[in-house]
Amino acid sequence: MMPAMKRFVSFFALMLLIGIANPAFAQSILRDAESEALLADMSRDLIKAANLQPNNVRIILINDPSINAFVAGGQAVYIHSGLIDAASSANEVQGVIAHELGHVTGGHVPLGDRMAKGATGITILSLLLGAAAMAAGSADAGMGLMQMGQRAALGNFLAFSRAQEATTDAAGVKYLSGAGVSGRGMLDFFKKLQQQEYRWGLKRGEQSYVMSHPMSGDRISTLTADLQADPAWNKHNDPALEERFRRVQAKLRGYVADAPDTLRRYPETDTTVPARYARAYAYHKSGYPQQAAAEAAALVKAEPHNPYFLELEGQILLESGKPKEAIPPLREATEKTNYQPLIATTFGHALLAVEDPALLPEAEKVLRQSVVRDQENPFAWYQLGMVYERKGDSARAALATAERSSMIGDMGRALTSAQAAMAGLPQGSPDWIRAQDIVMAAQAMMQDRKRR
């Protein structure tokens, strides 16, 4: 784990995602206010075109270098960081999101669930081993392992999967059209996938038989006519959206990539905003706070009231041991984003880090807003618990610990903390009822785990 990642909240707030679809998919979520705002804006019209409610659909960024996106049931689309890195434009990512929304509206069951329902014992093992071998680049080895299992059953399954993917591609085209978004990005991204297939040595015929997706060349041929016939085909990409994408792409690269790689890609001679963004993250996580602060200062000078630049400046100051200096930029960033929960949580962290009792009321205010507006932010609950501890309110500190523990899957601690909260809170009060809910949920989950 990188040094900067050891802090629970660094530039991107990192949380463990417990079991996406199944434990094999357990990965880490990267959370960042600017990135989430961009993905929401990029997908809003597509979601509406799919007859879904934008507030109910989440586009979630996963820390994974592979070029991939997936759904896992429900109304959530997971985008790998590697896909953002590989994309040449926001429009390409929109093409991927449109496709994945087709899986959402189709109610498609995650791959692992379909396999589990259709195969048992050695069949599952052989399918998984074969898929793993092919993913590693050994198609021959994968085929051999497939032959050890139920090849005919696998063929039927993958044929179904390919047909489902084709249907989803068609839905993606429909949603792009309904949103007035050009399909050029979708085709361009399939061409990138086609280059990956060439690199892996995959081709039509024997090897495509064991693929769960149609070959990209086939997809390009099938979709080109419909996409080119759409009125939005020649529509230019939104320049403002593309600029926002380049910034988010750069900060993501600076955060997840090795610092030397980032600095080679974005040398100091490059003074554009994306380059400064990337270098600020690379410097900070590598332990060069002065260089990181200089890049952040240059960004703030260029756009003095940009809330994300102010957030960056404040984060660097906070994590460099200067919480008092971090408060003004973080306060402004919080106010300018209408108390965006992730930014407000960082602001609350800075207020606490100063260790001035006079700042506790403001810290409590912003952190309570954060936990109400973002129900997947365990760090906010941790910070709010610290506020209550300093105020001497042990019952609500215990409740905050119970909330955080429940959120991260630590049901044992959630149970004991909620019980402690109930013992100190007025019976029947809203906080007491909430603690009781956590007790019952934790007990039920722990009993369910014992039965497995």
In a domain, 360, yes or no: no
Question: When comparing pLDDT for 114 and 240, which is higher?
Answer: 240
Q: In what order do the strands lie in the sheet with 28-31?
A: 13-16, 28-31, 58-62, 76-80, 69-71
In a domain, 43, yes or no: yes
In a domain, 27, yes or no: yes
| Residue 325: C-alpha distances to residues 13, 32, 333, 351, 391 (Å) | 21, 22, 14, 10, 24
For residues 88 and 185, give the distance between their C-alpha atoms in angstroms, rounded to a whole number: 9
In a domain, 407, yes or no: yes
**pLDDT at position 130:** 34
> Does the pTM of the predicted model rise above 0.75?
yes
For residue 76, pLDDT over 70 is answered with yes
pLDDT tens column, 339-372: 999 999 999 999 999 999 999 999 999 999 999 9
**pLDDT at position 66:** 86
Give me the domain span that covers residue 434.
393-452
Q: Could you give the number of structural domains in the chain? A: 2
In a domain, 100, yes or no: yes
Question: When comparing pLDDT for 251 and 129, which is higher?
Answer: 251
Of the chain, the end-to-end C-alpha distance in Å amounts to: 32
Question: Could you give the angle at the alpha carbon of 241 between the alpha carbons of 238 and 245, nearest 5°?
Answer: 135
pLDDT tens column, 193-251: 777 666 655 444 444 333 444 445 666 777 888 889 899 999 999 999 999 999 999 99
Instruction: Determine the 3-state secondary structure of 204 from DSSP.
Output: coil
Q: Which residues in 207-217 are b (16+ Cβ under 10 Å) and which e?
A: bbebbebbbbb
In a domain, 337, yes or no: no
In a domain, 429, yes or no: yes
Q: What is the CATH number of the domain that holds 184?
A: 3.30.2010.10
In a domain, 28, yes or no: yes
pLDDT tens column, 273-300: 999 999 999 999 999 999 999 999 999 9
**pLDDT at position 200:** 53
